[in-house]
């Protein structure tokens, strides 16, 4: 009787998800495995209205850390949740660089990422590093962009394989070689698609493609650099082509505890935090929804940040704002200037979860070291099980981040 009830409820939830509408990004390529997403709402409304409306979506699933019904499901080391196929144990995750400038939104595949890093690049623009534990289940992801030393280091600390489309070739190749970072540059494997929604037309030996159909949709992105996409099955083919070993242990991202039970030292109420990255991207906004127990992400004048694979605003149990030195590389000419992120110096920051904020310090001594966060007493902090959004911010802008109860 119990098993029949579970099957009935699973069927109901599946039918509900299939009934959800899509945004104008072409036909849906893959189903979402997101555990914390909500239907997109009118972006002209205020952020708090966005999130209140989102809480009513039937697509929202509250995270649980109860024993799995399926014994073949194990803990995802990037979230601390029981949600990963046991067959993926002993295999490395994947981190994919995604464009986050205004014209590159909405994005694809962000709702399925277990953890997202956001960081500044040249011109004050930000990019994302979307990290997934199981390459075989990575949905259509885009728009893919070029890698930087900073994003390579963020990825290396998670034990994942670093994937990008091009790179800062003056520094990235030597850096990843020196630090033994596994790197997959898709720049040499592009298919210049004209019917990009149909992945079946991508020929052998090509593992990413320009989705021109996506680019040409009315009111959507401009520029060929904002339409690059790939998918998990193509990444697996690329790894075979390049002889990349997928075996390896993935460390737990944080000191995860059961959702909602993390002890936070001198915690302050925080239902909203606005992270200032630069004059170009000054409103990375996270608004807490008490019903869903997650923070919904907005940006660029309060517009919900959307994964258009599933037409949902992305959301997270945990938000981190980590501050460290970020500055132009010395010796480069004006036209060559690149910004480097010096995470090896560590710094201060905030950990935000379940409507609370804790002031922290953090370290990452080498590219391959994971990020470690500590409370005021120097103890490693507890982190609620769930997805995380990690903002890596120039420490010059520490005072420009604002939060409220």
Residue 50 lies in a domain: yes
End position of a domain, from candidates 210, 242, 274:
242
Is pLDDT of 303 > 80? Answer: yes
- Look at residue 194 in the predicted model and tell me its pLDDT: 60
Is 229 within the bounds of a domain? Answer: yes
| Phi, psi angles (nearest 5°) of residue 374 | -135, 150
Report residue 47 as tokens: 């952020």
Model pLDDT for residues 369-395, shown as the tens digit of each residue: 999 999 999 999 999 999 999 999 999
Q: Are residues 342 and 389 in the same domain?
A: yes
- Band (pLDDT 50/70/90 cuts) for residue 195 is low
Kindly state the DSSP code that residue 292 receives in the 8-state scheme: T
Structural domain tally of the chain? 2
| 136 and 57 assigned to the same domain | yes
179: number of Cβ within 10 Å: 14
Q: Compute CA 163 distance to the chain's CA centroid, rounded to the nearest angstrom.
A: 13
Q: Look at residue 225 and tell me whether its pLDDT is greater than 60.
A: yes
261 and 233, same domain (yes or no): no
Query: What pLDDT does residue 203 have?
Result: 85
Q: Are 72 and 131 within 8 A, CB to CB? A: no
Residue 237: phi, psi to the nearest 5?
A: -65, -40
Asked whether 247 and 92 are in contact (CB, 8 A), the reply is: yes
pLDDT at 294 over 90: yes
Residues 338 and 201 in one domain: no
- Shared domain check, 232 and 297: no
351 shares a domain with 264: yes
- 47, part of any domain: yes
Range of the domain at 388: 256-404
Query: Are residues 100 and 179 located together in one domain of the fold?
Result: yes
Task: Look up the CATH number of the domain holding residue 260.
Answer: 3.50.90.10
The pLDDT of residue 290 is above 50: yes
Q: What is the mean pLDDT of the chain?
A: 84
Whole-number Å distance between alpha carbons of 296 and 272: 9
pLDDT band at 5 (very low <50, low <70, confident <90, very high): very low
**275: closest CA among 113, 183, 392, 178?**
392
Q: Is pLDDT above 70 for 268?
A: yes
Quick one: pLDDT at residue 222? 61
pLDDT at 32: 37
User: Does residue 3 belong to any structural domain of this protein?
Assistant: no
Residue 293, classed as helix, strand or coil, is coil
Residue 164 and residue 38 share a domain: yes
Q: Band the pLDDT of 152: cuts 50, 70, 90.
A: very high
**Residue at 372 is within a domain:** yes
pLDDT in tens, 75-122: 999 999 999 999 999 999 999 999 999 988 999 999 999 999 999 998
Which tokens belong to 195?
């019917």
The neighbour count for residue 311, using CB atoms within 10 Å, is 21
Q: Determine the pLDDT at residue 99.
A: 95
Last residue of a domain, one of 242, 275, 305: 242
221: closest CA among 308, 148, 147, 124? 308
The verdict on residue 276 lying in a domain is: yes
- Rounded mean pLDDT, 154-172: 96
User: Which range is least confidently modeled, 125-129, 197-201, 344-348?
Assistant: 197-201
Cα torsion angle, 162, 97, 118, 106, sign: negative
Place of tokens 């995380």: 388
Residues 70 and 184 in one domain: yes
Whether 238 and 261 map to the same domain: the answer is no
What is the band of 333 on the pLDDT scale with cuts at 50, 70, 90?
Answer: low
In this structure, the answer to whether residues 206 and 287 fall within a common structural domain is no
Q: Are residues 41 and 170 in the same domain?
A: yes
Query: Above 50 in pLDDT, residue 243?
Result: yes
pLDDT for position 68: 52
Model confidence at 43: pLDDT above 60: no
- What pLDDT is recorded for position 34? 35
Q: Which long-range contacts (CB under 8 A, 24 or more apart) does 378-383 make?
A: 380/255, 381/254, 381/255, 381/262, 381/264, 381/265, 381/351, 382/255, 382/256, 382/257, 382/261, 382/262, 382/263, 382/264, 383/80, 383/253, 383/254, 383/255, 383/256, 383/257, 383/262, 383/318, 383/351, 383/353
Of 242, 265, 293, the last residue of a domain is 242
13 lies in a domain?
Answer: no
* DSSP secondary structure string for all residues of 297-345: EEETTTEEPEETTTTEE-EESEEEEEEE-EEEPTT--GGG--EEE-GGG
């Amino acid at each position: 009787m119990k098993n029949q009830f579970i099957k009935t409820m699973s069927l109901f939830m599946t039918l509900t998800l299939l009934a959800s509408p899509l945004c104008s990004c072409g036909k849906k390529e893959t189903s979402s495995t997101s555990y914390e997403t909500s239907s997109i709402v009118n972006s002209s409304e205020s952020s708090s209205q966005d999130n209140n409306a989102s809480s009513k979506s039937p697509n929202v699933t509250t995270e649980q850390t109860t024993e799995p019904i399926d014994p073949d499901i194990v803990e995802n080391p990037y979230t601390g949740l029981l949600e990963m196929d046991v067959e993926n144990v002993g295999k490395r995750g994947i981190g994919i660089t995604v464009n986050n400038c205004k014209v590159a939104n909405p994005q694809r595949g962000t709702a399925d990422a277990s953890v997202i890093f956001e960081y500044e690049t040249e011109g004050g623009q930000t990019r994302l590093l979307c990290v997934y534990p199981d390459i075989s289940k990575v949905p259509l992801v885009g728009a893919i962009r070029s890698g930087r030393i900073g994003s390579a280091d963020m990825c290396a600390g998670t034990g994942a394989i670093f994937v990008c489309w091009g790179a800062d070739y003056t520094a990235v190749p030597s850096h990843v070689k020196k630090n033994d970072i596994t790197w997959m540059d898709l720049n040499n494997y592009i298919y210049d698609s004209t019917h990009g929604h149909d992945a079946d037309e991508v020929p052998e030996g090509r593992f990413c493609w320009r989705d021109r159909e996506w680019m040409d949709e009315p009111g959507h992105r401009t520029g060929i650099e904002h339409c690059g996409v790939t998918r998990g099955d193509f990444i697996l083919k690329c790894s075979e082509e390049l002889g990349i070993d997928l075996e390896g242990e993935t460390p737990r991202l944080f000191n995860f505890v059961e959702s909602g039970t993390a002890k936070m030292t001198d915690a302050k109420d925080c239902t909203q935090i606005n992270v200032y990255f630069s004059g170009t991207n000054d409103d990375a906004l996270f608004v807490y929804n008490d019903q869903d127990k997650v923070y919904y992400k907005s940006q660029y004048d309060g517009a919900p940040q959307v994964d258009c694979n599933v037409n949902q605003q992305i959301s997270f149990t945990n938000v981190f704002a980590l501050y460290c030195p970020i500055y132009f590389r010395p010796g480069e000419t004006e036209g060559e200037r690149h910004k480097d992120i010096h995470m090896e110096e560590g710094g201060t920051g905030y950990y935000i979860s379940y409507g609370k904020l804790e002031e922290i310090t953090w370290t990452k001594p080498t590219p391959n070291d994971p990020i470690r966060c500590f409370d005021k007493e120097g103890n490693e902090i507890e982190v609620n099980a769930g997805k995380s959004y990690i903002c890596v911010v120039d420490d010059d802008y520490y005072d420009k981040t604002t939060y409220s109860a």
